[in-house]
Chains A and B, each alone.
Chain A
Amino acid sequence: MESNKKYWKGLEEYKNTPDFVENNKNEFAEPLPIEDVLNEAGLSTVTPRRDFLKALGFGLGAVTLAACQPTPVHKSIPYLIKPEEVVPGIPNYYVSSFNGQSVLVKTREGRPIKIEPNPNAGEFNCGTDAQAQASVLDLYDVSKLKAPVLKENEKATWAEIDAFVKGELNKVQASGKKIRIVSSSVNSPSTKNVVADFTTAYPNTKHIQYDAVSYTGIIKANENSFGKAVLPKYNFDKADLIVSFGADFLGTWISGEEFTSQYISNRNYKTLAKGKMSRHFQFESGMSLTGTNADTRLPIKLSEQGPALITLYNAITGSALPGGALPNNTSADKAIKLVAKELLMNKGKSLVVCGSNDVSTQILVNAINAAIGSYGTTIDLDNPCKRYSGNDAEFAELINEMNRGEVAAVFFLDSNPAYDATNAKAFTDALNKVGLKVSFSDRKDETSSLCNVIAINHNYLEAWGDANAYEGYYSVVQPTINPVFNSRQAEQSLLVWSNAPVQDYYQYVRNNWEKNILPALGKTWNELLQTGVFAANAKTAGSYSFSQSLAAVAQSIQNNSKALAKDIELQVYESIPMRDGKHANNAFLQELPDPVSKVTWDNYIALAPKFAQTLGFKEFDVVSVKGANGYTIELPVLIQPGQAVGTASIALGYGRSKVGKAGDNVGKNAFPFVTFANGTLQYATTVTLSKTGSTYELAQTQTHYSFEGRNIIREATFKEYVKDPAAGSGNHGAKHKSYDLWDKYEKPGNNWVMAIDLNACTGCGSCIVACNVENNIPVVGRDEVRRRREMHWIRIDRYYSFEEEGKKNVTEEKEIAHMENMDRVSVVHQPMLCQHCDHAPCETVCPVLATVHSSDGLNHMAYNRCVGTRYCANNCPYKVRRFNWFNYWNDSRFDNYLNNEFTQLVLNPDVTTRSRGVMEKCSMCIQRIQAGKLTAKMEKRPLKDGDIKMACQEACSANAIIFGDGNDPESEVSKALRSERTYYVLEELNVQPGVGYMTKIRNTDTVQA
């Protein structure tokens, strides 16, 4: 076709030159210099421009691709099959119990991260103590064993363990030798049943309960006096007059958080508003937390305790028991006579308690309590407390049995006698003679490291179980996380070894409840799992009369007193943070300052200021403490105002050698000072002290002990308060007109404020731990505390003032230095946290606006914006801001807390961790405020008062902290802040703090005397 035109590519094609024809045969018209390039000569030729560009292009592409190597991706695996009840970001709460306290466990995405008191627990909801708050950290303890241990094999399987133990048990059974289960007090009904089942399978078994800190004395005394071998239920709330001889009932004695709640119910702002307040005398040698809260506290020597009780008994009953004289302590003598009068006036409304574990002493206390009609009112023997049921004599006998080679198998459940037995050496020597030694410890501790088998037990957060803290009061323990390591519940191990028909402990507990407990209460298992506790109707507390001769008792007391009255009288006691040392590897507890001495990370020997002077010791001098039994330790001296002259105090629970990274070799072990006499453990003994010449600085969070007469602390006596509720608060007369440089903040919605009742706060410190856990506050360790760098957002300031005859309280350091008699100490505890000032001095000085005010009255801290000039902290009159001096969670020097991925699981995901160089401080638990607002919004309702609770507030047994909306005149906090007692710390600076304090009231004036 004509239309099929042919277009030439060029004249060459048209002309069809020979060259063109030749070249057209090739794919490329021009020859490519491939050969040239590929041979060696080609490589040395000058690269053509195009090749250069090609190479450049290729190179760039290749390098770019190579650079696309992705950075390591941390895959977060979503729930493939989402558990029904887990919603990321929404916490789940489970009821459980810790040491008999009913608690709520908050879990996030399957991780338990916080312990809160169980609001369903009714009268048993008494807040939580520091141990309970800190207990979540124990779950994530890296020092725990990851698998059971059989002899030296740290990776044993349960089958191996079971085969070994069963084999050994059968041999023991055949030989007819004894089997012993050694535990601390067990009140769990299911555990008791398990032990009973085990005993049925191996009839030679005996369950020996012993407590490192024992209450055998009271139990035996009650058996002796009333035929009831029980620890009574004390009702401090029913006592208008409380007299304590060395019982730290607000702290460590039996059940501190519960007694605190009862005690404060007669002393808080609501009761005060009704014109009522209980009265509390404390006679003790060491300054205890309870002593710091007493209206009148008198130091007495340990050897004077018995005579003092005899004096009191004589004064009340008019009898004349011998030995009732305090020749060297006239002020105590005078006070006891006065106390006797008041006790008689308050018959049936008063309570006398004594911290001694001596049977005779407790019998005398029973006699006194019977004389003042306490039984049936303030003391209840019919609904007894089951927290402690240890028997010191049985444990002492165990050592003899082991020594005689009668015991062939021994099991240690929640007990560590190689550390906390008074005669640990005798115990470990005897233990060598036992064939099968099984420990249920979760770590290689002092005892378990001597055992052939460590059948690692669950943490209580992984376990099923139950508790029975009081007669008729039951609570459940349920797991909140799958067992992290290859551990097995101790009870289950015992069931397996006894070849029980039901070996699954969950089923066992459930069966036990459904068979034995729930029918009586008319409840179901599921109801139990929801409420966590069941209390049967309490029996009526009967009144008991005392009708025995006290001659022998008085004689025994006198003998004890004489034995103590030589050298230096030493009291060994449980400290609030460390208690008996079982949780010594808990960094939160190690860094919780002792409420009285403010010492962290160590124990010490406490001496009275004047007494230390006469002995020639200064604070932090290391002294060698030699016990009557020859046991010697070296400890630094702490000058403790209020300590009785002639006495010294050392805390138990320290000096553990095999507990873990945080707790090993912190302080010295004082258990060997405990003596076993008259059938019970005695915590009073005598020591001699000698100088070693070295010094050791204790890490204290507070080093200045007086408030220098400043009106940051405002107090009044109860008598003054009754006359004028505003007494001492400074709320009198017209206020100065104040002028502001700054505009007032509008707070259209909420105005979050707080009220703190200084009369309710006992200073126990559980709020500090609660705050630590809730807000991911770093633990910094002893050295950093010594450098005064602890990170606590809430602290409790403790101030001493001294009474001088006929003078006002002496509060200034200079005057105190010249005082002759420093025995009459009064103490005030002041929780101090960010005051969320409306005119916050920190806000104006921050160059980058990292700390700003919110429209709901809070002082915010934007960590990401902070550059760390620290001016805000300098300019904070309350000194509550805390600076991250280091990267505490990722620095090998801070290895006792978060420096590993496992422990980091304890972190609250709602609160960011702070990097180094950033300021932080109390945020008023802003994550809780947000969560509360969101819940209200989802439920389409306005926020109610009480919807939002601060972590510190929730933990407080005394309800000393009240948080809420100041814009709501009906909120509890608004009502509390309207109290005449309310004042603001440093209000004269016009920083307009958002936290109000209520005056401290002391019921010191005798009503009629």
Chain B
Amino acid sequence: MSGHNESILREPLITGQNITYAKITDDILTPVENKPNRAWWIGFIVALMGATLWVVAVSYTFWNGIGAWGLNKTVGWAWDITGFVWWVGIGHAGTLISAVLLLFRQNWRNSINRSAEAMTIFAVICAATYVVSHMGRPWLAYWVLPLPNQFGSLWVNFNSPLVWDMFAISTYFSVSLLFWYTGLLPDIATIRDRAVGLKRKIYTVLSFGWTGNVKTWQRFEAVSLILAGISTPLVLSVHTIVSMDFATSVIPGWHTTIFPPYFVAGAIFSGFAMVLTLLLVARKVLGLENYITMFHIESMNKIIILTGSIVGVAYLTEFFIAWYSGSEYEQYAFINRSTGPYWWAYWMMMTCNVISPQLLWFKKIRTSIPATWILSIVVNIGMWFERFVIIVTSLHRDYIPSSWAMFYPTWVDVGVFVGSIGVFFTLFLLFLRVLPSIAIAEVKLLLKSASEQAKLEQIKDGHLDKEQVREYVESLEKFDSVKQEEYAKI
């Protein structure tokens, strides 16, 4: 292993000097093994208040009926399904990072996959709550499952995209959970080995008897690869099927064949934005700047430009096809989107999803942490509006003008949505406290080859091409976690 050196042209994935395996473990386990700091408490209390709001709003809905929301005879879905699709979309980055990037041997995923996957799971949980709570009779939600039953020969309708959706979401959730937990095993064992008392007992159970011998590691690697293989199609399938909730309908604005790729791109777009939103804060608060570096941030920003542009092209294509189709209903649906009563939602979506991510073409912006953080939030605002535009503006004026109506949310609509964000952050903050937010074992793999200190040693060895070294040193300038004076003399 030690004979293998990575090209100096590649930017380091771990920065800082005097990083040892022990230091990595110490750094990453700091939040798990110590009392939480004030920032965590503030965040947690705010998140918990949000979660409480969610409980209140959902209970109110269950008690009174869906009428507590602002829906009507024309607009049967609004904030509920908007929220559902938004969360499923956010949940997309996790699998993409953990599975697809693993298969493509993108080592930089090692620092961010754990949090991204956790985020996926929590986002899918939020989405799943919508699946149940938007139903008129949520206590019968299990009827959408093809369970043997005593109702005679009653079965589900396999023609219905909602049934496909149920399969897609549950499969995605199970596989993501499995993948995430498998990856956690060596790290849980690490915590176990360092913990005492009750904590040790708990982590002993959670670590499934991980011993760390060669055979275990070998199987671990094999399982990871297999799960990555299984997950990869899911990255495409979940949002494809979510998009079919709309695409298989007859409603102008929904009935669109471009939806599957467009939804998948949008999902990755919003997923990466959410990863950035979370990790930019976490890295600062938890002191993980050396492991989640500017390289990671920039890479994710690049994916955001790509997917954001795909989404932009999709928006324009929809318009073109509406015109090209010659269908007056289709044409009206799109003219109404951009100029009708919900024009502001449409232009909000356009600005946030298509125009603002283009700013990331500027290196200054995509390597600026505040700018990136703000843009990541802007992207998710835009993606929420995208779903709102698709759902509400298509429904509110469809075929028969007599039924055209407006949708006005109630406090319960807002409460369920804002509350679901609270639920998400509550879960995420708890996760930070009990499990390592970065895959310790996987990051350690990078230390000998892809860390700043390893590269500095190579440079000091002096066998490297001066031109390449200069380029490498220049590339380090953007890193906020690199002590630039070290390189001043080189």
Q: Is the CB of A879 within 8 A of B398?
A: yes
> Could you say which residues of chain B place their CB within 8 Å of the CB of A866?
136-137
Give complex CA distance A918, B402 in Å.
23
Chain B interface residue bracket vs A: 35 or more
Partner pick for A847 among B65, B71, B163, CB 8 A cutoff: B163
Q: Is the CB of A874 within 8 A of B66?
A: no
Q: Is the CB of A868 within 8 A of B250?
A: no
Per-residue CB contact flags for chain B residues 154-169 toward chain A (1 = under 8 Å, else 0) read 1111011111001000
Q: Is the CB of A703 within 8 A of B405?
A: yes
Interface flag for A877 (CB, 8 Å): yes
Give complex CA distance A846, B159 in Å.
8
Decide yes or no: A790 and B162 within 8 Å by CB, A712-B399, A868-B137 being known contacts: no
Interface flag for B403 (CB, 8 Å): yes
Interface flag for A844 (CB, 8 Å): yes
Q: Is the CB of B250 within 8 A of A875?
A: yes
Question: How far apart are B137's CB and chain A's nearest CB, in angstroms?
Answer: 4
Partner pick for A883 among B136, B249, B403, CB 8 A cutoff: B136
> Could you say which residues of chain B place their CB within 8 Å of the CB of A189?
none
Give complex CA distance A866, B251 in Å.
22
- A 343-361 contacts with B by CB, 8 A: none
Interface flag for A610 (CB, 8 Å): no
Question: How far apart are A917's CB and chain B's nearest CB, in angstroms?
Answer: 3
> Could you say which residues of chain A place their CB within 8 Å of the CB of B399?
710, 712, 877-879, 986, 989
Q: Is the CB of A869 within 8 A of B67?
A: no
Question: How far apart are A685's CB and chain B's nearest CB, in angstroms?
Answer: 34
Partner pick for B402 among A702, A871, A915, CB 8 A cutoff: A702
Q: Is the CB of B76 within 8 A of A710?
A: no
In the complex, which residue of chain B has the Cβ closest to the Cβ of A830?
B402
Stretch at the interface among A195-203, A276-284, A501-509, A795-803: A795-803
Question: How far apart are A852's CB and chain B's nearest CB, in angstroms?
Answer: 9
> Could you say which residues of chain A place their CB within 8 Å of the CB of B398?
877, 879
Partner pick for B71 among A884, A885, A917, CB 8 A cutoff: A885
> Could you say which residues of chain A place their CB within 8 Å of the CB of B134?
869-870
Decide yes or no: A841 and B162 within 8 Å by CB, A877-B399, A879-B398 being known contacts: no
Per-residue CB contact flags for chain B residues 416-439 toward chain A (1 = under 8 Å, else 0) read 000000000000000000000000
> Could you say which residues of chain B place their CB within 8 Å of the CB of A986?
399-400
Per-residue CB contact flags for chain A residues 178-216 toward chain B (1 = under 8 Å, else 0) read 000000000000000000000000000000000000000
Interface flag for A867 (CB, 8 Å): yes
Q: Which of A709, A784, A845, A882 has the most CB of B within 10 A?
A: A845
- B 311-342 contacts with A by CB, 8 A: 328-329, 332
> Could you say which residues of chain B place their CB within 8 Å of the CB of A881?
73
Stretch at the interface among B37-45, B140-148, B182-190, B276-284: B140-148
Q: Which of A788, A865, A878 has the most CB of B within 10 A?
A: A788
Question: How far apart are B96's CB and chain A's nearest CB, in angstroms?
Answer: 28
Q: Is the CB of B141 within 8 A of A867?
A: yes
Q: Is the CB of A867 within 8 A of B135?
A: yes
Give complex CA distance A132, B241 in Å.
52
Give complex CA distance A142, B323 in Å.
57
> Could you say which residues of chain B place their CB within 8 Å of the CB of A799?
401-402
Q: Is the CB of A710 within 8 A of B70?
A: no
> Could you say which residues of chain A place their CB within 8 Å of the CB of B217?
none
Partner pick for B73 among A830, A846, A882, A886, CB 8 A cutoff: A882
Interface flag for B453 (CB, 8 Å): no
Partner pick for B72 among A787, A797, A886, CB 8 A cutoff: A787
Q: Is the CB of B160 within 8 A of A845?
A: yes
Per-residue CB contact flags for chain B residues 454-466 toward chain A (1 = under 8 Å, else 0) read 0000000000000
Question: How far apart are B312's CB and chain A's nearest CB, in angstroms?
Answer: 27
Interface flag for A496 (CB, 8 Å): no
Interface flag for B52 (CB, 8 Å): no
Interface flag for B395 (CB, 8 Å): yes
Q: Is the CB of B154 within 8 A of A849?
A: yes
Q: Is the CB of B402 within 8 A of A798?
A: yes
> Could you say which residues of chain B place their CB within 8 Å of the CB of A712?
399-400
Per-residue CB contact flags for chain B residues 199-220 toward chain A (1 = under 8 Å, else 0) read 0000000000000000000000
Q: Is the CB of A795 within 8 A of B402?
A: yes
> Could you say which residues of chain A place their CB within 8 Å of the CB of B74?
788, 879
> Could you say which residues of chain B place their CB within 8 Å of the CB of A869?
134-136, 162
Q: Is the CB of B144 within 8 A of A788?
A: no
Per-residue CB contact flags for chain A residues 771-812 toward chain B (1 = under 8 Å, else 0) read 000000000000010011110000101110000000000000
Interface flag for A239 (CB, 8 Å): no
Q: Is the CB of A841 within 8 A of B250?
A: yes
Give complex CA distance A559, B73 in Å.
51
- A 108-132 contacts with B by CB, 8 A: none
Q: Is the CB of A865 within 8 A of B73?
A: no
Give complex CA distance A700, B264 in Å.
40
> Could you say which residues of chain A place their CB within 8 Å of the CB of B487?
none
Q: In terms of DSSP, what is the predominant structure of the interface of chain B? A: loop
Give complex CA distance A490, B67 in Å.
45
Q: Is the CB of A710 within 8 A of B328?
A: yes
Q: Is the CB of B402 within 8 A of A797?
A: yes
Partner pick for B66 among A788, A848, A865, A917, CB 8 A cutoff: A917
Q: Is the CB of B156 within 8 A of A847?
A: yes
Partner pick for A916 among B136, B141, B251, B395, CB 8 A cutoff: B136
Partner pick for B77 among A706, A784, A870, A985, CB 8 A cutoff: A870
Per-residue CB contact flags for chain A residues 449-486 toward chain B (1 = under 8 Å, else 0) read 00000000000000000000000000000000000000
> Could you say which residues of chain A place their CB within 8 Å of the CB of B66?
868, 870, 883, 885, 916-917
> Could you say which residues of chain B place their CB within 8 Å of the CB of A916?
65-67, 136-137
Partner pick for B65 among A879, A917, A985, CB 8 A cutoff: A917
Give complex CA distance A877, B64 in Å.
29
Interface flag for A707 (CB, 8 Å): yes
Give complex CA distance A790, B73 in Å.
8
Q: Is the CB of B403 within 8 A of A706?
A: no
In the complex, which residue of chain B has the Cβ closest to the Cβ of A862?
B154
Per-residue CB contact flags for chain A residues 123-147 toward chain B (1 = under 8 Å, else 0) read 0000000000000000000000000
Give complex CA distance A343, B191 in Å.
101
- A 694-709 contacts with B by CB, 8 A: 702-704, 706-709
> Could you say which residues of chain A place their CB within 8 Å of the CB of B140?
867
Give complex CA distance A540, B397 in Å.
57
Interface flag for A948 (CB, 8 Å): no
Question: How far apart are B147's CB and chain A's nearest CB, in angstroms?
Answer: 11
> Could you say which residues of chain A place their CB within 8 Å of the CB of B249?
841, 845, 871, 874-875
> Could you say which residues of chain B place their CB within 8 Å of the CB of A887?
65
Partner pick for B136 among A704, A789, A870, CB 8 A cutoff: A870
Give complex CA distance A650, B329 in Å.
37
Give complex CA distance A848, B156 in Å.
5
Question: How far apart are A719's CB and chain B's nearest CB, in angstroms?
Answer: 27
> Could you say which residues of chain A place their CB within 8 Å of the CB of B356?
none
Interface flag for A991 (CB, 8 Å): yes
Q: Is the CB of A704 within 8 A of B402?
A: yes
Interface flag for A919 (CB, 8 Å): yes
Question: How far apart are B295's CB and chain A's nearest CB, in angstroms?
Answer: 45
Interface flag for A832 (CB, 8 Å): yes
Q: Is the CB of A879 within 8 A of B137?
A: no
Question: How far apart are A787's CB and chain B's nearest CB, in angstroms?
Answer: 6
- B 64-89 contacts with A by CB, 8 A: 64-67, 70-74, 76-77
In the complex, the 6 A-B pairs of residues with the closest C-beta atoms, listed nearest first:
A868-B136, A917-B136, A885-B67, A797-B402, A870-B76, A879-B403
27 A–B pairs (Cβ distance < 8 Å), ordered by A: A702-B403, A707-B402, A709-B328, A710-B329, A710-B401, A712-B400, A787-B70, A787-B72, A789-B67, A841-B249, A845-B162, A847-B143, A847-B160, A848-B154, A866-B137, A867-B138, A867-B143, A870-B76, A874-B77, A874-B395, A877-B399, A879-B400, A879-B403, A883-B66, A887-B65, A916-B65, A917-B136
- Additional A-B contacts beyond A798-B402, A832-B400 (11; CB < 8 A): A710-B329, A832-B402, A844-B248, A847-B144, A848-B154, A849-B155, A865-B154, A873-B73, A874-B76, A886-B64, A989-B250
Which B residues form the contact surface with A (CB < 8 A)? Answer: 64-67, 70-74, 76-77, 134-138, 140-141, 143-144, 154-157, 159-163, 166, 245, 248-251, 328-329, 332, 395, 397-405, 408
